[in-house]
Amino acid sequence: MDYPLDASRPLGALRLDGRIAVITGAASGIGRGIAQMFAAVGARVVLSDRNAQGLAETARAIGAAAVAHVAELGTKDAAERLAAFAETIGPIDIWVNGAGIGSANAVSEGNEEAYRRTIAINQDAVFWGCSAAARRMEPRGSGSIINISSIAADKGDRKLAAYSMSKAAVNALTRVLANEVGPAGVRVNAVAPGFIVTEMTVPSDLSAAEREARIAQSVKRAPLPIAGYPEDVAHAALYLASDAGRYVTGQVIRVNGGATMIP
């Protein structure tokens, strides 16, 4: 039996022409990389972040295809306001929960402030973003939700309890929501990066030698002898957002050079 295969436009399936994508955490790093990638293949991008200056820089770099919405995410109201803002442009086709922060505290320290802030941004904001997106996509019968997770969800690195918990929760939420909205034609997936070279991981205030040393150290943690950059995560997100990933849902795509294979 023959099955249909459209080989006439193998790369066309990766286009996002005419689609509206909401991207949180878009002021820098991975979120900015995803926004730029999506805009480059035809999407209108709605950028959100609490960092107004960084958000403006991202929007300026993208140009007319981008609009910005400054917001501190982490509550239902904040997610609903962002969704309502995006809908002034048109129906939401793609929602990327990319906002996140890192924290390094031993469990025995009992740092409640750091714990609650990490959970609020890395976990609560993702939950409410998913909720706002799913509520709008289900009635339309289509859409793609992408959550940015981390390999920390699979490892047990010291002093990363709150961060690792939040990312493990994102993976669980991804699978549950994929089950809930799949029958309506909505897909939900996550991308779990390893060490990605961004301002957060390799600050620009380090000397050139210090930056090179930090990147070199990250390369030693994985089988592939290369460093990871935001565009590597953006390529995975594009696959999941586009028609190329039409049969993929409930998955966590690990983009880490193979680091999760090493204890």
- Per residue of the chain (263 residues), give pLDDT as tens: 566 666 666 678 999 999 999 999 999 999 999 999 999 999 999 999 999 999 999 999 999 999 999 999 999 999 999 999 999 999 999 999 999 988 889 999 989 999 999 999 999 999 999 999 999 999 999 999 999 999 999 888 889 899 999 999 999 999 999 999 999 999 999 999 999 999 989 999 999 999 999 999 999 999 999 999 999 999 999 999 999 999 999 999 999 999 988 76
Which of 3, 163, 229, 239 is flagged as catalytic?
163
**Which residue's structure tokens are 């991207």?**
23
Q: What is the pLDDT of residue 1?
A: 57
Q: Which residues of 76-114 are buried (b: 16+ CB within 10 A; e: fewer)?
A: eebbebbbebbeeeeebbbbbbbbbeebebeeeeebeeb
Type of residue at 155: K
Cα(223)–Cα(84) distance, rounded to whole angstroms? 44
Cα(175)–Cα(145) distance, rounded to whole angstroms? 11
Q: What is the pLDDT of residue 253?
A: 98
Q: What is the pLDDT of residue 58?
A: 98
Counting Cβ atoms within 10 Å, is residue 185 exposed (0-12), middle (13-18) or buried (19+)? middle
Active site residue 229: no
Secondary structure (DSSP) of 104-125: -B-GGG--HHHHHHHHIIIIIH
Main-chain dihedrals φ then ψ at residue 148, nearest 5 degrees:
-90, 115
Helices of type H across the chain = 29-40, 52-62, 76-87, 112-119, 125-140, 161-181, 208-219, 230-241
Secondary structure (DSSP) of 182-193: GGGTEEEEEEEE
Q: What is the pLDDT of residue 53?
A: 98
Cα(92)–Cα(132) distance, rounded to whole angstroms? 10
Which tokens sit at 165? 């918990």
Which tokens sit at 107? 């469990």
**Residue of 197, 187, 101 whose CA lies nearest to 146:** 187
Counting Cβ atoms within 10 Å, is residue 226 exposed (0-12), middle (13-18) or buried (19+)? exposed
Residue-range domains of the chain with CATH: 13-194+229-250 (3.40.50.720)
